[in-house]
Amino acid sequence: MTAPDQPLTAPDADAIEAIARATIAALPPEFAAHLGDVVLIVEDLADDATLDALGIEDPFDLTGLYVGRPIGEKSSMESGALPDRIHLYRRALLDEWIDTGVSLQDLVAHVTIHEIGHHFGLSDADMHALEDTVSER
Protein backbone atom coordinates (compact mmCIF):
# COMPACT_ATOMS: atom_id res chain seq x y z
CA MET A 1 0.00 0.00 0.00
CA THR A 2 1.33 3.45 -0.87
CA ALA A 3 1.39 6.33 1.55
CA PRO A 4 -1.13 9.09 0.87
CA ASP A 5 0.28 12.18 -0.75
CA GLN A 6 1.44 14.85 1.64
CA PRO A 7 -0.86 17.87 1.62
CA LEU A 8 0.54 20.92 -0.12
CA THR A 9 1.37 23.81 2.15
CA ALA A 10 1.65 27.48 1.31
CA PRO A 11 5.16 28.91 1.22
CA ASP A 12 6.07 30.29 4.64
CA ALA A 13 7.68 33.62 5.52
CA ASP A 14 11.16 32.12 5.19
CA ALA A 15 10.43 31.04 1.60
CA ILE A 16 9.17 34.52 0.69
CA GLU A 17 12.20 36.11 2.35
CA ALA A 18 14.57 33.78 0.47
CA ILE A 19 13.07 34.87 -2.86
CA ALA A 20 13.33 38.54 -1.85
CA ARG A 21 16.95 38.14 -0.72
CA ALA A 22 17.86 36.34 -3.96
CA THR A 23 16.28 39.25 -5.86
CA ILE A 24 18.32 41.75 -3.85
CA ALA A 25 21.49 39.70 -4.45
CA ALA A 26 20.83 39.89 -8.22
CA LEU A 27 20.66 43.69 -8.24
CA PRO A 28 23.41 45.63 -9.99
CA PRO A 29 26.19 46.47 -7.49
CA GLU A 30 25.43 50.21 -7.54
CA PHE A 31 21.99 49.44 -6.06
CA ALA A 32 22.98 46.64 -3.70
CA ALA A 33 25.68 48.85 -2.15
CA HIS A 34 22.99 51.18 -0.78
CA LEU A 35 20.68 48.56 0.70
CA GLY A 36 22.80 47.30 3.58
CA ASP A 37 20.87 49.23 6.23
CA VAL A 38 17.41 48.48 4.84
CA VAL A 39 15.56 45.92 6.94
CA LEU A 40 13.49 43.27 5.13
CA ILE A 41 10.41 42.14 7.05
CA VAL A 42 7.96 39.45 5.95
CA GLU A 43 4.61 39.50 7.74
CA ASP A 44 1.35 37.73 7.00
CA LEU A 45 -0.69 40.93 6.48
CA ALA A 46 -0.34 44.64 7.09
CA ASP A 47 -1.64 45.79 10.46
CA ASP A 48 -4.72 47.98 10.83
CA ALA A 49 -2.72 51.14 11.55
CA THR A 50 -0.76 50.75 8.31
CA LEU A 51 -3.88 50.04 6.29
CA ASP A 52 -5.68 53.03 7.84
CA ALA A 53 -2.72 55.34 7.14
CA LEU A 54 -2.74 54.28 3.49
CA GLY A 55 -6.54 54.36 3.13
CA ILE A 56 -6.67 50.65 2.27
CA GLU A 57 -9.64 48.66 3.54
CA ASP A 58 -8.71 45.13 2.43
CA PRO A 59 -5.36 43.87 3.75
CA PHE A 60 -5.10 41.59 0.72
CA ASP A 61 -4.73 44.70 -1.46
CA LEU A 62 -1.28 45.47 -0.03
CA THR A 63 1.54 43.09 -1.01
CA GLY A 64 4.49 45.28 -0.03
CA LEU A 65 5.44 48.58 1.53
CA TYR A 66 8.55 50.72 1.81
CA VAL A 67 8.82 52.69 5.05
CA GLY A 68 11.55 55.28 5.15
CA ARG A 69 12.94 58.24 3.27
CA PRO A 70 14.31 57.88 -0.25
CA ILE A 71 18.09 58.18 -0.42
CA GLY A 72 17.95 61.57 -2.14
CA GLU A 73 15.92 63.03 0.72
CA LYS A 74 18.15 61.82 3.56
CA SER A 75 20.32 64.15 5.57
CA SER A 76 23.42 63.45 7.61
CA MET A 77 21.80 65.59 10.30
CA GLU A 78 19.17 62.92 10.98
CA SER A 79 20.12 60.78 13.90
CA GLY A 80 18.13 58.31 15.88
CA ALA A 81 15.78 57.55 12.99
CA LEU A 82 14.52 54.02 12.57
CA PRO A 83 16.13 52.12 9.71
CA ASP A 84 14.32 52.06 6.38
CA ARG A 85 12.18 48.96 6.02
CA ILE A 86 10.70 46.90 3.24
CA HIS A 87 7.63 44.96 4.32
CA LEU A 88 6.38 42.04 2.26
CA TYR A 89 2.95 40.68 3.12
CA ARG A 90 2.93 36.92 2.64
CA ARG A 91 -0.80 36.19 2.57
CA ALA A 92 -1.50 39.06 0.18
CA LEU A 93 1.33 37.84 -2.07
CA LEU A 94 0.01 34.28 -1.98
CA ASP A 95 -3.50 35.50 -2.78
CA GLU A 96 -2.23 37.46 -5.79
CA TRP A 97 -0.08 34.49 -6.85
CA ILE A 98 -3.15 32.26 -6.93
CA ASP A 99 -5.36 34.87 -8.60
CA THR A 100 -2.91 35.83 -11.35
CA GLY A 101 -1.03 32.63 -12.07
CA VAL A 102 2.25 34.60 -12.13
CA SER A 103 5.06 32.53 -10.63
CA LEU A 104 5.64 33.23 -6.94
CA GLN A 105 9.30 33.99 -7.64
CA ASP A 106 8.39 36.59 -10.28
CA LEU A 107 5.70 38.15 -8.09
CA VAL A 108 7.89 38.44 -4.99
CA ALA A 109 10.76 39.78 -7.11
CA HIS A 110 8.44 42.37 -8.69
CA VAL A 111 7.13 43.60 -5.33
CA THR A 112 10.61 43.60 -3.78
CA ILE A 113 12.05 45.65 -6.64
CA HIS A 114 9.10 48.03 -6.51
CA GLU A 115 9.73 48.70 -2.82
CA ILE A 116 13.48 49.04 -3.42
CA GLY A 117 12.59 51.55 -6.13
CA HIS A 118 10.87 53.70 -3.51
CA HIS A 119 14.08 53.59 -1.44
CA PHE A 120 15.94 55.08 -4.40
CA GLY A 121 13.14 57.45 -5.41
CA LEU A 122 12.78 55.75 -8.81
CA SER A 123 9.93 56.30 -11.24
CA ASP A 124 7.74 53.36 -12.26
CA ALA A 125 9.59 53.19 -15.60
CA ASP A 126 12.94 53.03 -13.77
CA MET A 127 11.58 50.30 -11.49
CA HIS A 128 10.54 48.23 -14.52
CA ALA A 129 13.99 48.70 -16.08
CA LEU A 130 15.62 47.56 -12.83
CA GLU A 131 13.32 44.55 -12.72
CA ASP A 132 14.30 43.66 -16.30
CA THR A 133 17.99 43.86 -15.29
CA VAL A 134 17.43 41.44 -12.40
CA SER A 135 15.39 38.97 -14.47
CA GLU A 136 18.17 38.85 -17.09
CA ARG A 137 20.72 37.63 -14.53
In the chain the domains, ranked by start, together with CATH numbers, are 13-72+82-136 (3.30.2010.20)
| Cα(130)–Cα(114) distance, integer angstroms | 9
Angle (CA) 46 52 54, round 5°: 80
Radius of gyration over every alpha carbon of the chain, rounded to an integer in angstroms: 17
pTM of the model: 0.85
* Interval 37-84: pLDDT, tens: 899 999 999 999 999 999 999 999 999 999 988 876 665 556 667 789
Q: Are 30 and 80 in contact (CB under 8 A)?
A: no
Name 42's bridge partners.
Answer: 88
Of residues 46, 124, 31, 137, the one with CA closest to residue 90: 46
* Interval 78-127: pLDDT, tens: 666 778 999 999 999 999 999 998 999 999 999 999 999 988 888 788 77
| Cα(51)–Cα(133) distance, integer angstroms | 31
Q: Are 91 and 45 in contact (CB under 8 A)?
A: yes
